[in-house]
Amino acid sequence: MDLSIYVKVKVQEPLLSVQGLSKFYGKRIGCDAVSFDLFPGEVLGIVGESGSGKSTLLSCLAGHLAPDSGKVIFDTAQGPRDTVVMGEAERRRLGRTDWAFVHQNPRDGLRMGVSAGGNVGERLMAVGARHYGDIRGQALDWLGRVEIAADRIDDRPTGFSGGMQQRLQIARNLVTGPRLVFMDEPTGGLDVSVQARLLDLLRGLVRQMGLSAIIVTHDLAVVRLLADRLMVMKGGHVVEQGLTDQVLDDPQHAYTQLLVASVLHV
Amino acid sequence: MIKISNLSKSFTLHNQGAAVIPVMTGAHLSVAPGECLGLVGASGSGKSTLMRLIWGNYVAATGSILVGGVDVARAAPREIIALRRGTLGYVSQFLRVVPRVPTVDVVAEPLLTLGVAQSEARARAEHLLAQLNIPERLWSLSPTTFSGGEQQRVNIARGFVHPYPAMLLDEPTASLDAVNREVVLTLIEAAKARGAAIIGIFHDEAARARLCDRVVDVTQFSPAVPA
């Protein structure tokens, strides 16, 4: 039998290794002792109800919030580094190059007073691009990839629909070729038909670019279609994690069983 | 290729008085390359449970499930992901896809995740869709609006687009007409001939007789019910 069709898991270092990450708001728990590894090309979903700590965790991972304890070790070009103790300037550079952050509300991730092309081009300039023709060419290419018509390049996103704004935010984030994308409810404010298109777009981009992603959402249907692995949070703690369809089809923890059983089927 | 030993499974319903329901105990079987094993037993006897345990979306209580050298009962999520990508195929009874994605892309997707070029993946998907008599005018539409039989054939195309060395088939001929049933049976025979190890559930007795080298009655793995 031809053994070449076997795909073995390559021995590789995790792209992101999170160890004992905790954040408290006074006496209240934000997230407590969260640990996991994320490997290149993997998509991790984080689900839980409002106040479960999933957004706090994402903010701590992305360096928007300083955790009280724990490590967030990222495999940088210079080798694994703990981004928690990294200098602010260096962490910001990481945020412009290897990392990207897609906000739930596109207004938080876009510059609303700048044209669509400018929103994408600005990120290229932040990493050193200076040639106007190249920048405009790349912006145009990315608008096409997220299905925004070329003749909208000079329009401001204020005139775009919610779905278009969200696609523009994704283009702005991915144009610099990040290796890790943090997403906070990326399909949250969109109506169902627009969500489906965005999900397909994200799946294709993740596959083509070999991206790793961490997606916070409360929508179990979204994680089933997008995430390889799933982490379930409640009260700041991770109560269960595993393969996405295993967690959804055979949940082991009482809270996950309740969560899965509560979904309405159409 | 597939070897199951001392496998057991129970469900704990935490929100219903933590009731523990044992559903399978002491299951064992093995399938060699090129062999097709049929699972039989009444509804509710655990055929689908066994399939899901092998696929890895059910957690085993004890025992081991070796598929191409990976123990699904113990493997890390990313090992199971890699196993599903290249080694283990699954044709379930239901089609679960992102809405609005064209049928040809749904079928080509397993190849794209393996790194096959877009043009070749599409060509192979189109070839299978044609073979399974899905009209060409439907290829660019999402399968979510298709009839039951068409959806099942799309699911089969997706499951056969890559030559997986191990395959799980859950009633692959259930809602097909005679012509398409024959096409699917031929596909399964070809998979056997190239050396795939297959575990299938076939309610279609003639199909079972034609394809299966052996059958296993899963009723023997049911836990003893206290009188």
Fold classification of B2-221 is Rossmann fold (3.40.50)
Integer angstrom CA distances of residue B125 from A165, B105, B154, B181: 33, 8, 10, 19
- Whose structure tokens read 């439907």? B138
Query: Whole-number mean pLDDT of chain B?
Result: 94
Question: What pLDDT, on the 0 to 100 scale, is given for residue A265?
Answer: 65
CA-nearest of B112, B143, B113 to B129 is B143
State the first-to-last Cα distance of chain A, in angstroms, to the nearest integer: 44
- With pLDDT > 70 as the criterion, what percentage of chain A qualifies? 95
Plot region of A236 (φ>0 → left; ψ -120 to 50 → alpha; else → beta) = left
Model confidence band, residue A195 (pLDDT cutoffs 50, 70, 90): confident
**What pLDDT, in 10s, does the model give residues A39-53?**
998 999 999 988 899
Question: Is the CB of B14 less than 8 angstroms away from the CB of A246?
Answer: no
ipTM of the complex as predicted = 0.91
How many Å separate Cα A76 from the centre of its chain? 18
CB contact under 8 Å between A225 and B13, yes or no, is no
State residue B200's pLDDT score.
97
Domain ranges across chain B: 2-221
Residue B78 to residue A196, Cβ atoms within 8 A: no
The reported pLDDT for the residue numbered A190 is 79
Which residues on B lie below 8 Å from A254 (Cβ)? 14-15
The whole-angstrom separation of Cα A125 and Cα A175 is 11
pLDDT band of residue A263 (cuts 50, 70, 90) is: confident
pLDDT at B15: 87
| Closest residue to B100, CB basis, from A8, A39, A196 | A196
In this model, does residue A3 exceed pLDDT 50? no
Are B68 and B88 in contact by the 8 Å Cβ rule? The answer is yes
Residue of A207, A249, A252 with shortest CB distance to B112: A207
Tell me which of A214-223, B132-141, B190-199 is least confident.
A214-223
- For residue A72, the cross-strand partners are A18
Of B14, B58, B96, the CB nearest to A250: B58
Q: Quick: pLDDT tens for B157-206.
A: 999 999 999 999 999 998 899 999 999 999 999 999 999 999 999 999 99
Per CB distance under 8 Å, which residues of B are interface residues toward A? 11-15, 33, 52, 56-59, 68, 77-83, 85-87, 96, 98-101, 112-114, 162-165, 195
DSSP state at residue B113: H
Give the sheet arrangement for strand A229-234, strand by strand.
A99-102, A180-184, A212-216, A43-47, A229-234, A237-243
A-B CB pairs within 8 A amount to 81
* B contacts of A1 (beta carbons < 8 Å): 33, 165, 195
A8, A37, A147, A260: best mutation site toward chain B, by most B Cβ within 10 Å? A8
Which residue from A1, A249, A257 is facing B33, i.e. has the nearest CB?
Answer: A1
**Is residue A153 classed as helix, strand or coil in its secondary structure?**
coil
Instruction: Compute the mean pLDDT over every residue in chain A, rounded to the nearest whole number.
Output: 90
Candidates A205, A206, A212, A246: best to mutate against B (most CBs of B within 10 A) is A246
Q: How many helical (H) and strand (E) elements, i.e. helices and strands, does chain B have?
A: 7, 9
For residue A138, name the pLDDT band (cuts at 50, 70, 90). very high
Q: How big is chain B by its Cα radius of gyration, in Å?
A: 18
pLDDT of the residue at B180 = 95
pLDDT class for A14, splitting at 50, 70, 90?
very high
Is residue A4 scored above 60 in pLDDT? no
Residue A236 has pLDDT above 90, yes or no: yes
Predicted pLDDT of residue A6? 47
More confident residue, B9 or A191: B9
Q: Sort out which chain B residues have CB atoms less than 8 A from A245's CB and list them.
A: 56-57
Neighbouring residues of A125: CB distance < 8 A, sequence distance ≥ 6: A135
Phi-psi region of B171 (alpha: psi -120 to 50; beta: other; left: phi over 0): left
Q: Is residue B226 very low, low, confident or very high in pLDDT (cuts 50, 70, 90)?
A: low
For residue A7, pLDDT over 50 is answered with no
Q: Which residue has the higher pLDDT, B181 or A209?
A: B181
Judging contacts by C-beta atoms under 8 Å, the chain B residues touching residue A196 are 98-100
Share of chain B above pLDDT 70, in %: 99
Full-model pTM: 0.90
Quick check: A264 pLDDT over 80?
Answer: no
Does the structure show a pLDDT above 60 at B31? yes
Q: Which two tokens stand for residue A43?
A: 């998509």
Q: Give CA torsion, residues A214, A219, A224, A226, to 10 deg.
A: -40
**Encoded tokens for B164:** 């997986």
Confidence of residue B227 (pLDDT cuts 50, 70, 90): very low
Q: How far is CA A100 from CA A169, A244, B39, in A?
A: 10, 23, 48
Is pLDDT of B225 > 70?
Answer: no
The confidence score (pLDDT) of residue A5 equals: 45
What's the whole-number mean pLDDT along residues A232-257? Answer: 95
The answer to whether the CB atoms of B12 and A207 lie below 8 A apart is no
Chain A residues within 8 Å of chain B (Cβ atoms): 1, 5-9, 39, 42, 193, 196-197, 199-200, 203, 207, 224-225, 228-229, 242-243, 245-246, 248-250, 252-254, 257-258, 261
Please give the residue of chain A at the shortest CA–CA distance from B195.
Answer: A1
Q: Cα separations (Å) of B196 from A141, A263, B32, B52, B156? A: 43, 37, 8, 19, 15
CA B164 to chain centre: 11
